[in-house]
Amino acid sequence: MFYINLQPDLPRANVTNKENELSFKTSPDGRHTLRTYIHGGQFFRTDYSFLGVVESEDSEPSSIFLVGEDHNFHVSWIDSETLFLETMGEQHILNIFKDTYDYRR
C-alpha cells in the first residue's frame, strides 16, 4: 500500500524522457505508437517498473500499462486499436482508447 501511494495513478504517469525509452512499436495502420519506458527508482533506483505509453497523431499520449520490474512481459499489436499484453502468466487484451493494466491493482 505504501508503494502505491508514492506512485502516480496510471493515466497521470509521465516518463516521456527519451533516455528512459526501451522500445517502440507502431500500430498496423501507422497512426499510433506504443513506447515502453523504464519508470521509477524511488528507493535507491531499485524499485522500477515498465510503463507503456500510446502516442497518436490526433491525441495526447496516454499511459496504457504498468508492469513491475520482476514481471516478464510481452506486448504486441493485434490491430490498430488493440494491444495484447502477457505478463505473469496472464493475458490481457487492451483497447488503447479505454483500457489500462496496472500490476499494482
pLDDT in tens, 44-93: 556 778 899 999 988 888 999 999 877 789 999 999 999 999 998 899 99
Q: What is the mean pLDDT of the chain?
A: 82
Grid cell at residue 40 = 521509477
Above 70 in pLDDT, residue 8? no
Q: Is 19 helix (H, G, I), strand (E, B) or coil?
A: helix
Sign of CA dihedral 23, 25, 30, 33: negative
d(CA 31, CA 47): 33
Q: What is this structure's pTM?
A: 0.78
Strand 48-56 relative to strand 101-102, pairing:
unpaired
Within 10 angstroms of residue 7's Cβ, the number of other Cβ atoms is: 17
Assign 3-class secondary structure to 67-101: EECCCCEEEEEEECCEEEEEECCEEEEEECCCCCE
Within 10 angstroms of residue 86's Cβ, the number of other Cβ atoms is: 13
